[in-house]
A and B are shown apart, each in its own frame.
Chain A
């Protein structure tokens, strides 16, 4: 009995003071770090293979191991992927697709976020009659599969004279971003104390004054989240790009597919890898630059529903 009590309580040593010392190599730490390491390798390995392959010559690829680093580093495939590889009739490389994607993504992100932030603000602060019905309809929109709407939208765009234009695609992206972005902004603005809104009304501010002077400056984190979500989603979009534009307006993703899947001639693995990495540069850069803000914004938006 006496033994049990001593092991249960385990008193501090006589000289104990200050914070309790922790061992770096405890069983718990070894477990956590080894799992994290395995997961990191799992996700980074494909990236490593792509990077290495893109820096090798074709002969080296055929003869060597895919994990081996290049013996002779060459940037030839990168240059080719960017400016001279052929897709269909155009032989000016991925650069055309890159600029098309920029022309699609920038206005789509701008318009969808502008409209959605006002939507979210109005829905959470100015509870107008039918606000909940309106919001429900908008959210249901997020659950309807895109495939159902593809053909009706083709007809709609044709009737509006926007089919095949970049403008048409921008419109489609803006509309399809609306449900999830509105939800994001509405939840964020719902977490802003209502008394702040009331105080602004007593101070004589109306709809737009409150939006621009009070709400907008407070909503920076959620704007960052929205920009990241929309930029990656629209940049990575393939389906809408291939359906609603003509070949000269194809975004980068569609062009990449056309390069990688071309069946004529020799498969240039190094060029394909370089092209794929080039397409991923924009979303990757955005994540790396704004990772911290992104997490903070997601957490802030998730607090209240």
Chain B
């Protein structure tokens, strides 16, 4: 099956600054792809290139098998939703929805039918006669999605659509976007810097840094088996704990942490047999305490330095082997600074990276 969107050797320079470097990406039909990265990584630039709002320096973009590299945004079969909603302030909601269709000289009945359908899908029928200024943030973003919906396109582009909303509304609309995708089965490309949005929505996540895709995989793989240290550090909150240590693979593979040998039983090596300096990473949520710690293959005793109660759980800051260590305990447990806590983890769930290229071992 041909990919829905295919990006080939895409390069974009702003003057001497290279924003996208030789980027290749294939997005399948009906796939929900999230472009994730910190600000300035080129994710929005890539989306604007796909939309045709920025011209690439080199490379080609195909949508549904058509080469659209030089096509106008409106001729590409895309709909786009922006962070600031970008609703036309002087038009009513209906005017906003129909603007693109009128530009395309579509017959009146067809416009009516499409607006009715979009309004029904997004439940904005009572708002059709209102101006954007009379809508709440969530309603505005729904109208903005509706504007993409009426165009009846194959590919939806979202540019941080939920970043301007408050936390609760963001969670609600996130679910709605997911529901919309399940109902419409369109290809969706979604730019965000929020990893929760990325993890919950995506079929696949592309993590970008400096104009390069660092890893492109399903959310579970990115979380459990990050391809490099940057991805490991970026995904997960609080982020992964790292220890600089030495990997010894001469016999049974092991690392040394705080004077103890930790045997990597069950760890799935990407590149077996390597020895030397490594980063050993373990996620805070994979560190257990209490009775569970006694059963864990690797066990340590650490002093709590700081406790951050979050309700359901408490985040403990501590130090192990000279490196900062974060882990979670039950929210009902009271921890004071200086308390000794017994922790444990399973090295099979760890991530190990070399210190040169910081790639997964």
Binding site for B on A (CB under 8 A): 193, 195-196, 198-205, 209, 213-214, 217-218
Contact = CB atoms under 8 A, between A and B. Distances in A.
A217 B132 CA distance: 15
B90 interface: yes
A195 B83 contact: yes
Contacts of B89: 218
Contacts of B99: 200, 203, 205, 213
B84 interface: yes
Size range of the chain B interface in the assembly? 20 to 34
Interface centre among A195, A203, A217 (most CB of B within 10 A): A203
B283 interface: no
Contacts of B53: 198, 201-202
Contact of A198 (B79, B82, B147): B82
A199 B74 contact: no
A239 B48 CA distance: 51
B82 A218 contact: no
Contact of A196 (B52, B72, B86): B86
Contacts of A195: 82-84, 86, 159
Contacts of B159: 195
Contact of A202 (B73, B83, B84, B88): B73
Contact of B104 (A196, A201, A204, A217): A204
Nearest to B54: A198
Nearest to B104: A204
Interface of B: 48, 51-53, 72-74, 78-80, 82-84, 86-90, 99-100, 103-104, 147, 151, 159
9 contacts: A195-B84, A198-B51, A199-B86, A201-B52, A202-B53, A202-B73, A203-B103, A205-B100, A217-B90
A203 B74 contact: yes
A213 B88 CA distance: 9
Given A200-B99, A203-B147, 10 more contacts: A198-B48, A198-B82, A199-B82, A199-B86, A199-B87, A200-B88, A202-B79, A204-B100, A213-B99, A218-B90
A202 B101 CA distance: 11
